Amino acid sequence: MKGILLPTDFSNNSLNAIDGAMQIFAKSKCTFFILNVQKATSFISDDLMTATPSMNLYQSLIQTSKKSIDNLIITLKSKYLNLNHKFISIVDFDNFIDATNQLCTLNKIDLVVLGTKGVSGLNQVIFGSNTIKLIRRGVCPMMVIPNNYHFQEFKKSVYLTDYSTAIIENEFKPLTSILKTHDSSLQLLHISKKDKLSFIQKKNRDSLKGHLTNETSTNFFELQDSRFLESIHEFCTFNKVDFLAITQKKRSFFNRLLLGNVSENLTQQISIPLLILRSK
C-alpha cells in the first residue's frame, strides 16, 4: 500500500477507524491522507464572526478543521512512532462522495478506510449513510472498520465469493498485499442455496484458485445455506476469522449482503474489518 485515504468527521467511530488503520498497516510504508469534508450549512454565523479581517470566507470556514487534523496527526505520530508513515492533511468544501472520489483519482489512492456506526434502526442496514454511498459510488477499494474494533493480527482471512465473474487484473492486489504483510492464510467461502455450481461458476472458481494459491496459503469452502448473513457470521466465529473481504458487484451478491432482509436476527453485526474490492 502506498496511498491510504482516511476520511474523518472527528467522530469516535471515524477516529477508531484511523487507529485501526495505523495498526493494520504498521509494517507498510504508507502516506495517509486525512480528509475532512465540510459543507456551508455545517457552520454557524459565530464561526465567521471569529475570523480576522484579513481572512477570506474560505479560510475562515476551514481553519477549525485544519487545526483539528493537525492536532490529530500530532497525536498519531506521538502514539505510534512509526517511521513508515507519512501524513497529509486535507480539508475540502464539497459533497463527501465527490470530494473523496476526486482525491482518490488525483492522488492515485490505493485504499479508503472508513468507520461504521453500527446498525441503523430506521433502514436496518449495516453501515452508515456515507459508507453505503461510497461503497456504491466509490472509485477505489475500501476497508470498513467497525466501531469499537480492537486490532489483532490477521492470521485468518476470508474472501466471500459467488464465482459469478471472472478475475480482473489487479483486482486482488489490495487483498494479497494485506495478506502478505500479515502472513495470513486465506479461506474462500461460497454460500448458496443450490448444491451445484454452474459451468461459468466452476470456470471462475478454477481461475481464482490458480490466481490466489500462488499468492498465499488458500483453502476453499462451499456452504449450502439460505441464511446468508447468519452463515457468514457463524463461519467467521467458528473459524476465528480476523479479516473479511468481498468484491463489489453491480447486483445480487453484494446487495444481498448490504440490503437484504436484515431484521430481528441481525446479531451478526460486522465485528471485523471488511475489505471491499472493486470489479470494473
| Cell numbers representing residue 182 in the block | 500479515
Task: Kindly list the strands in the beta sheet with 218-224, ordered across the sheet, starting from the edge strand earlier in the chain.
Answer: 85-93, 30-38, 3-7, 111-115, 142-145, 274-278, 243-248, 156-160, 185-192, 218-224
- CA distances (Å), origin 112, targets 20, 141, 226, 258: 13, 6, 32, 18
| pLDDT score for 134 | 87
Distance CA 278, CA 142 (A): 9
For domain 3-145, give the CATH number.
Answer: 3.40.50.620
Q: Are 171 and 279 in contact (CB under 8 A)?
A: yes
Q: Is the pLDDT of residue 61 over 80?
A: no
| Residues making up the chain, counted from first to last | 280
Q: Is the pLDDT of residue 247 over 50?
A: yes
Q: How high does pLDDT run on average in the chain?
A: 81
| pLDDT score for 105 | 95
User: Which residue's C-alpha cell is 453485526?
Assistant: 269
Q: Is the pLDDT of residue 58 over 70?
A: no
Mean pLDDT of 82-102: 93
Distance CA 99, CA 96 (A): 5
CATH topology of domain 156-278: Rossmann fold (3.40.50)
Sign of the Cα torsion 224, 226, 232, 238 reads: negative
**pTM for this structure?**
0.85
Q: Is the pLDDT of residue 42 over 60?
A: no
Q: Is the pLDDT of residue 268 over 50?
A: no
Distance CA 24, CA 154 (A): 8
| pLDDT score for 38 | 81
**Helix axes of 129-137 and 96-106: crossing angle, nearest 10 degrees:** 50
Q: Where are the domains of the chain?
A: 3-145, 156-278
| pLDDT score for 196 | 82
Sorted by sequence, the CB contacts under 8 Å of residue 243 that are 6+ apart come out as: 154, 156, 157, 158, 178, 182, 184, 272, 273, 275
Asked which of 70-84, 87-101, 115-129, 224-238 is least confident by mean pLDDT, the reply is 115-129
Bridge-based pairing state of the strands 274-278 and 142-145: antiparallel
3-class DSSP assignment, residue 40: helix
Q: Is the pLDDT of residue 32 over 70?
A: yes
Q: Are 125 and 132 in contact (CB under 8 A)?
A: yes
